[in-house]
Amino acid sequence: MKNYDVIVVGGGIVGAATFYKMQKRYPRKEMLLIDKMSVLADHQTGNNSGVIHSGLYYKPGSLKAENCVKGRHELVSFAKEYNVPHDVCGKVVVAVDSSEMGSLNKIHALGIENKIEGIELINSDQLRDIEPECRGEAALWVPCTGIIDFREATKKMVEVAIGIQPLSAVHLSEEVLDFNPEGEGTLVTTSKAKYFAKHLIVCGGLQADRLAIKDGVKLREKVVGFRGDYYELNDHAKHKVRNLIYPVPNPDFPFLGVHFTRMTNGEIECGPNAVFTFKREGYGKTDFNLRDTVDALGYSGTWKLFFNNMSFGINEYRRAFSKRLFLKTLQHLVPSLTMDDIRPGRSGVRAMLLNRQGDTGDDFRIETTDRSIHVLNAPSPAATASLAIGDYVADRYAEKFG
Domain boundaries in the chain? Answer: 2-46+151-221+362-401, 91-143, 222-354
Residue 402's pLDDT is what? Answer: 79
Average pLDDT over residues 375-386: 95
How many CB atoms neighbour CB 252 within 10 A? 9
Distance CA 30, CA 8 (A): 11
174: left (phi over 0), alpha (psi -120 to 50) or beta: beta
> Which CATH architecture fits 2-46+151-221+362-401?
3-Layer(bba) Sandwich (3.50)
Is the pLDDT at 38 greater than 80? The verdict is yes
Average pLDDT over residues 34-45: 97
Residue 353's pLDDT is what? Answer: 92
How many CB atoms neighbour CB 122 within 10 A? 17
| Mean pLDDT for the chain overall | 95
Dihedral through CA 53, CA 60, CA 41, CA 35, nearest 10? 170
Angle at 245 between CA 244 and CA 248, to 5 degrees: 135
Residue 18's pLDDT is what? Answer: 98
Residue among 381, 384, 4 nearest 201 (CA): 4
Average pLDDT over residues 223-228: 92
* Structure confidence at residue 319 as a pLDDT band (50, 70, 90): confident
Distance CA 246, CA 93 (A): 5
Distance CA 221, CA 352 (A): 10
Average pLDDT over residues 278-298: 94
pTM over 0.85: yes
Distance CA 201, CA 208 (A): 11
Residue 316's pLDDT is what? Answer: 84
Tens digit of pLDDT for each residue in 80-114?
999 999 999 999 999 999 999 999 999 999 999 99
Is the pLDDT at 56 greater than 80? The verdict is yes
The residue ranking higher by pLDDT, 306 or 77, is 77
Q: Measured between alpha carbons, how far is residue 149 from residues 45, 47, 196, 273 in Å?
A: 10, 10, 34, 21
Residue 359's pLDDT is what? Answer: 85
* Structure confidence at residue 325 as a pLDDT band (50, 70, 90): very high
Q: How far apart are the first and last CA of the chain?
A: 25
Tens digit of pLDDT for each residue in 227-268?
999 999 999 999 999 999 999 988 766 667 899 999 999 999
Tens digit of pLDDT for each residue in 11-21?
999 999 999 99
Tens digit of pLDDT for each residue in 338-362?
999 999 999 999 999 999 998 876 7
Distance CA 158, CA 207 (A): 21
Distance CA 230, CA 359 (A): 25
Residue type, position 362, single letter: D
Superfamily of domain covering 222-354: D-Amino Acid Oxidase, subunit A, domain 2 (3.30.9.10)
Residue 360's pLDDT is what? Answer: 78
Average pLDDT over residues 331-335: 97
Average pLDDT over residues 67-87: 98
Average pLDDT over residues 152-167: 98
